Amino acid sequence: MQEAIRADICAFRERDPACTSYVHGMLNFKGFLACQAHRVAHRLWGQGRNGLALALQNRISEVFQVDIHPGAKIGKGVLFDHATGVVVGETAVIGNDVSILHHVTLGGTGNACGDRHPKVGNGVLIGAAATLLGAIKVGDGAKIGACSLVLIDVPPHSTAVGVPARIIPGKDPGASILNRDLPGQSMDHTSEILDYVI
Protein backbone atom coordinates (compact mmCIF):
# COMPACT_ATOMS: atom_id res chain seq x y z
CA MET A 1 0.00 0.00 0.00
CA GLN A 2 2.87 2.40 0.74
CA GLU A 3 4.26 1.97 -2.77
CA ALA A 4 0.83 2.79 -4.24
CA ILE A 5 0.52 5.90 -2.05
CA ARG A 6 3.94 7.15 -3.16
CA ALA A 7 3.07 6.52 -6.81
CA ASP A 8 -0.27 8.33 -6.38
CA ILE A 9 1.27 11.49 -4.92
CA CYS A 10 3.89 11.49 -7.69
CA ALA A 11 1.05 11.21 -10.23
CA PHE A 12 -0.64 14.30 -8.79
CA ARG A 13 2.60 16.29 -8.70
CA GLU A 14 3.62 15.32 -12.26
CA ARG A 15 0.26 15.43 -14.04
CA ASP A 16 -1.68 18.24 -12.37
CA PRO A 17 -0.22 21.73 -12.98
CA ALA A 18 -2.26 23.04 -10.03
CA CYS A 19 -0.30 20.80 -7.64
CA THR A 20 2.62 23.00 -6.59
CA SER A 21 4.28 20.52 -4.20
CA TYR A 22 3.94 17.02 -2.82
CA VAL A 23 2.73 18.38 0.52
CA HIS A 24 0.16 20.55 -1.26
CA GLY A 25 -1.21 17.46 -3.01
CA MET A 26 -1.29 15.34 0.16
CA LEU A 27 -3.07 17.97 2.22
CA ASN A 28 -5.38 19.68 -0.25
CA PHE A 29 -6.32 17.41 -3.15
CA LYS A 30 -9.48 15.49 -2.35
CA GLY A 31 -8.92 13.06 -5.21
CA PHE A 32 -5.69 11.96 -3.56
CA LEU A 33 -7.25 11.84 -0.08
CA ALA A 34 -10.29 9.88 -1.29
CA CYS A 35 -8.06 7.37 -3.10
CA GLN A 36 -5.93 6.77 0.00
CA ALA A 37 -9.00 6.41 2.21
CA HIS A 38 -10.33 3.90 -0.34
CA ARG A 39 -7.09 1.92 -0.05
CA VAL A 40 -7.76 1.54 3.69
CA ALA A 41 -11.41 0.55 3.05
CA HIS A 42 -10.29 -1.95 0.39
CA ARG A 43 -7.84 -3.54 2.83
CA LEU A 44 -10.65 -3.88 5.40
CA TRP A 45 -12.90 -5.38 2.71
CA GLY A 46 -10.22 -7.92 1.85
CA GLN A 47 -9.99 -8.89 5.53
CA GLY A 48 -13.72 -9.62 5.60
CA ARG A 49 -14.45 -6.56 7.76
CA ASN A 50 -17.19 -5.49 5.34
CA GLY A 51 -19.26 -3.46 7.81
CA LEU A 52 -16.33 -1.27 8.77
CA ALA A 53 -15.21 -0.98 5.13
CA LEU A 54 -18.69 0.17 4.04
CA ALA A 55 -18.93 2.63 6.95
CA LEU A 56 -15.61 4.16 5.89
CA GLN A 57 -16.72 4.26 2.25
CA ASN A 58 -19.90 6.06 3.29
CA ARG A 59 -17.91 8.67 5.20
CA ILE A 60 -15.51 9.13 2.25
CA SER A 61 -18.53 9.73 0.03
CA GLU A 62 -19.97 12.31 2.42
CA VAL A 63 -16.72 14.20 2.92
CA PHE A 64 -15.21 14.11 -0.58
CA GLN A 65 -18.25 13.47 -2.83
CA VAL A 66 -16.33 10.47 -4.23
CA ASP A 67 -18.08 7.09 -4.09
CA ILE A 68 -15.67 4.17 -4.55
CA HIS A 69 -16.94 0.80 -3.38
CA PRO A 70 -14.42 -0.87 -1.04
CA GLY A 71 -14.42 -3.96 -3.29
CA ALA A 72 -13.09 -1.99 -6.28
CA LYS A 73 -9.45 -2.61 -7.16
CA ILE A 74 -7.27 0.42 -7.88
CA GLY A 75 -3.70 0.25 -9.19
CA LYS A 76 -0.87 2.60 -8.33
CA GLY A 77 -0.08 6.01 -9.81
CA VAL A 78 -3.78 6.84 -10.15
CA LEU A 79 -4.92 10.46 -10.46
CA PHE A 80 -8.49 11.47 -9.60
CA ASP A 81 -8.37 15.04 -10.92
CA HIS A 82 -10.91 17.23 -9.09
CA ALA A 83 -12.70 13.95 -8.22
CA THR A 84 -16.13 15.38 -7.37
CA GLY A 85 -18.88 13.01 -8.45
CA VAL A 86 -16.64 10.02 -9.24
CA VAL A 87 -18.48 6.70 -8.78
CA VAL A 88 -16.67 3.34 -8.98
CA GLY A 89 -18.60 0.09 -8.58
CA GLU A 90 -17.73 -2.99 -6.53
CA THR A 91 -16.23 -5.17 -9.27
CA ALA A 92 -14.48 -2.37 -11.16
CA VAL A 93 -10.73 -2.59 -11.71
CA ILE A 94 -8.55 0.46 -12.43
CA GLY A 95 -5.02 -0.21 -13.69
CA ASN A 96 -1.77 1.64 -13.02
CA ASP A 97 -1.05 5.20 -14.18
CA VAL A 98 -4.70 5.98 -14.93
CA SER A 99 -6.07 9.53 -14.87
CA ILE A 100 -9.77 10.05 -14.16
CA LEU A 101 -11.45 13.44 -14.18
CA HIS A 102 -14.52 14.58 -12.24
CA HIS A 103 -18.04 13.10 -12.54
CA VAL A 104 -16.84 9.82 -14.07
CA THR A 105 -18.95 6.70 -13.46
CA LEU A 106 -17.63 3.14 -13.68
CA GLY A 107 -20.97 1.45 -13.11
CA GLY A 108 -23.14 -1.55 -13.80
CA THR A 109 -26.03 -1.85 -16.24
CA GLY A 110 -28.72 -3.06 -13.85
CA ASN A 111 -29.25 -5.29 -10.87
CA ALA A 112 -27.15 -8.25 -12.08
CA CYS A 113 -24.81 -9.90 -9.59
CA GLY A 114 -21.23 -10.99 -10.11
CA ASP A 115 -18.71 -9.27 -12.36
CA ARG A 116 -20.63 -6.24 -13.64
CA HIS A 117 -18.33 -3.20 -13.74
CA PRO A 118 -15.65 -1.92 -16.15
CA LYS A 119 -12.04 -3.08 -16.17
CA VAL A 120 -9.73 -0.17 -17.03
CA GLY A 121 -6.22 -0.96 -18.30
CA ASN A 122 -2.94 0.82 -17.59
CA GLY A 123 -2.24 4.37 -18.77
CA VAL A 124 -5.87 5.17 -19.60
CA LEU A 125 -7.28 8.71 -19.58
CA ILE A 126 -10.99 9.11 -18.79
CA GLY A 127 -12.42 12.56 -19.52
CA ALA A 128 -14.83 14.53 -17.36
CA ALA A 129 -18.39 13.19 -16.96
CA ALA A 130 -17.70 10.02 -18.94
CA THR A 131 -19.90 7.04 -18.10
CA LEU A 132 -18.63 3.49 -18.57
CA LEU A 133 -21.24 0.81 -17.90
CA GLY A 134 -21.12 -2.96 -17.67
CA ALA A 135 -18.33 -5.54 -17.56
CA ILE A 136 -16.48 -3.90 -20.44
CA LYS A 137 -12.73 -3.73 -20.94
CA VAL A 138 -10.81 -0.55 -21.67
CA GLY A 139 -7.42 -1.43 -23.16
CA ASP A 140 -4.06 0.00 -22.10
CA GLY A 141 -3.37 3.53 -23.29
CA ALA A 142 -6.95 4.24 -24.39
CA LYS A 143 -8.73 7.58 -24.11
CA ILE A 144 -12.35 8.11 -23.18
CA GLY A 145 -13.69 11.48 -24.30
CA ALA A 146 -15.50 13.81 -21.93
CA CYS A 147 -19.25 13.13 -21.56
CA SER A 148 -19.01 9.86 -23.52
CA LEU A 149 -21.27 6.88 -22.80
CA VAL A 150 -19.18 3.71 -23.21
CA LEU A 151 -21.07 0.41 -23.41
CA ILE A 152 -18.57 -1.62 -25.49
CA ASP A 153 -14.96 -2.73 -25.13
CA VAL A 154 -12.35 -0.13 -26.05
CA PRO A 155 -9.23 -1.53 -27.77
CA PRO A 156 -5.77 -0.52 -26.53
CA HIS A 157 -4.45 2.87 -27.70
CA SER A 158 -7.74 3.96 -29.24
CA THR A 159 -10.25 6.68 -28.39
CA ALA A 160 -13.92 6.30 -27.46
CA VAL A 161 -16.12 9.38 -27.94
CA GLY A 162 -19.80 10.18 -28.22
CA VAL A 163 -23.16 8.99 -26.92
CA PRO A 164 -23.13 6.10 -27.39
CA ALA A 165 -19.37 5.99 -27.85
CA ARG A 166 -17.77 5.16 -31.16
CA ILE A 167 -14.24 3.80 -31.34
CA ILE A 168 -11.57 5.75 -33.18
CA PRO A 169 -8.44 3.65 -33.73
CA GLY A 170 -5.03 5.05 -32.80
CA LYS A 171 -2.48 6.06 -35.43
CA ASP A 172 -0.67 2.72 -35.44
CA PRO A 173 -2.16 0.11 -33.13
CA GLY A 174 0.87 -2.16 -33.53
CA ALA A 175 3.48 0.49 -32.70
CA SER A 176 5.51 0.34 -29.52
CA ILE A 177 4.22 2.85 -26.99
CA LEU A 178 6.49 4.51 -24.44
CA ASN A 179 5.14 5.31 -20.97
CA ARG A 180 5.36 9.04 -21.66
CA ASP A 181 3.00 8.52 -24.60
CA LEU A 182 0.28 6.94 -22.48
CA PRO A 183 -2.63 9.38 -22.24
CA GLY A 184 -3.11 8.60 -18.54
CA GLN A 185 0.37 9.98 -17.89
CA SER A 186 0.57 12.74 -20.49
CA MET A 187 -3.01 14.00 -19.85
CA ASP A 188 -3.28 14.50 -23.61
CA HIS A 189 -7.01 14.82 -24.37
CA THR A 190 -6.55 15.31 -28.11
CA SER A 191 -7.14 12.64 -30.72
CA GLU A 192 -6.62 12.08 -34.42
CA ILE A 193 -10.28 12.69 -35.27
CA LEU A 194 -10.38 13.64 -38.93
CA ASP A 195 -13.69 12.32 -40.23
CA TYR A 196 -15.80 11.83 -37.12
CA VAL A 197 -19.49 12.48 -37.71
CA ILE A 198 -22.17 12.31 -35.05
Looking at 38, 69, 102, 157, which residue is catalytic? Answer: 102
Alpha-carbon distance values, 56 to 31, 38, 51, 166 (Å)? 16, 8, 9, 37
The CA dihedral of 25, 31, 32, 35, to the nearest 10 degrees, is 180
Number of neighbours of residue 112 by Cβ within 10 angstroms:
10
**Which long-range CB contacts under 8 A does 160-165 form with residues at least 24 apart?**
161/191, 161/193, 161/196, 162/196, 162/198
24 catalytic per annotation: no
Active site residues: 102
